[in-house]
């Protein structure tokens, strides 16, 4: 199929590469042209503007965005919709707030364009192993684009989850759960390191054995084990853990719906605390986040207050 990718960060470039490997004709655009040029070397067609990108695609067009959530996504979507035509499909694969997705969907509908929201998980490994796609929007359009999802996702790794904005909602909750899982591992590791046995424990061996038959084995546990094998003291990194919004949005939804979210709330507050206090637990969570998503690590001494 013919498809365009807008935004070639870690996720967008990985999705573009998998589409190329799947035999699709891929056009790409990125504000930093060097990223487009790199994909062009692998078989993509690089365009220098959004207008050129739209013109280069045969109708009905399929344009897939991977951009920072918020105004950046809104600005690009608004410009693209100005060039797109009835029957085209615009896909938002970023971590957009579902409320903005509903607004964008309405704006697209006025143009006769279908907006699909595709929550995407898989981190750095997704480029090679395939991603998990949680797709919201018009079901018939999702089914028509099945070959795209099949190229990008792991086997059985994509699902239409419901109407417009539901894909981003499911991804929001997914990331909120991730917050809580990371924090539980982090606190457990600090207990081990601080205990009377801490000096004798081989934390790399402990996290390795957890991956073989234990109830808490997981992909996050695998990444934790990798970090422990590299440097279990984590003394060279800072404890600062940023957040991209999904945890906060989930807590706000819990308040709106009257659904208690004590674990998710505590894990978000822990991220705020990490910007003040440089503890081992926060360094554990920071290095896991770096492992799966390539998120920057703070210097060992950095604090914000």
Is 178 designated active site?
Answer: yes
Task: Give the max Cα distance, the chain.
Answer: 67
Q: Residues 31, 9: contact at Cβ < 8 Å?
A: no
Q: Which of 35, 171, 246, 291 does the annotation list as catalytic? A: 171
Containing 119, the helix (H) or strand (E) segment is strand 114-121
CA-to-CA separations, 287 to 40, 184, 282, 305, in angstroms, rounded: 32, 14, 9, 21
Is 155 designated active site?
Answer: no
* Burial annotation 51-74 (CB, 10 A radius, 16+ → b, else e): eebbeebeebbbbbbbbebeeebb
Q: Which of 17, 178, 246, 291 does the annotation list as catalytic? A: 178
β 2-6/25-29 pair status: parallel
Give 214-217 contacts, CB < 8 A, sequence gap 24+: none
Q: Any idea which residues carry the catalytic annotation?
A: 171, 178
């Amino acid at each position: 199929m013919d498809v365009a990718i807008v935004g070639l960060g870690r996720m967008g470039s990985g999705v573009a590469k998998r589409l190329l490997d799947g035999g699709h004709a891929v056009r790409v655009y990125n504000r930093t042209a060097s990223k487009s040029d790199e994909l062009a070397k692998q078989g993509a067609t690089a365009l220098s503007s959004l207008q050129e990108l739209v013109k280069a695609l045969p109708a009905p067009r399929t344009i897939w965005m991977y951009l920072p959530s918020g105004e950046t996504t809104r600005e690009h979507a608004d410009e693209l919709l100005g060039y797109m035509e009835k029957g085209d499909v615009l896909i938002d694969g970023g971590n957009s707030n579902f409320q903005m997705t509903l607004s964008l969907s309405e704006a697209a509908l006025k143009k006769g364009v279908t907006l699909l929201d595709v929550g995407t998980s898989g981190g750095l490994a997704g480029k090679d192993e395939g991603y998990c796609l949680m797709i919201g929007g018009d079901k018939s359009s999702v089914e028509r684009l099945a070959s795209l999802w099949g190229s990008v996702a792991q086997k059985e790794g994509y699902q239409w989850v419901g109407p417009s904005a539901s894909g981003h909602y499911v991804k929001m909750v997914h990331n909120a759960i991730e917050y809580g899982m990371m924090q539980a591992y982090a606190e457990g590791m600090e207990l081990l390191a601080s205990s009377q046995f801490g000096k004798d424990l081989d934390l790399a061996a402990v996290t390795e054995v957890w991956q073989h038959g234990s109830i808490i084995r997981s992909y996050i546990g695998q990444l934790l084990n990798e970090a422990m094998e590299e440097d279990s003291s984590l003394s060279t990194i800072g404890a600062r853990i940023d957040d991209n919004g999904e945890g906060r949005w989930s807590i706000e939804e819990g308040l709106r719906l009257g659904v208690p979210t004590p674990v998710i709330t505590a894990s978000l507050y822990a991220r705020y605390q990490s910007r003040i206090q440089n503890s081992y637990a926060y360094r554990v969570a920071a290095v896991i986040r770096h492992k799966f998503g390539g998120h920057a690590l703070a210097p060992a001494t950095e604090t914000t207050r």
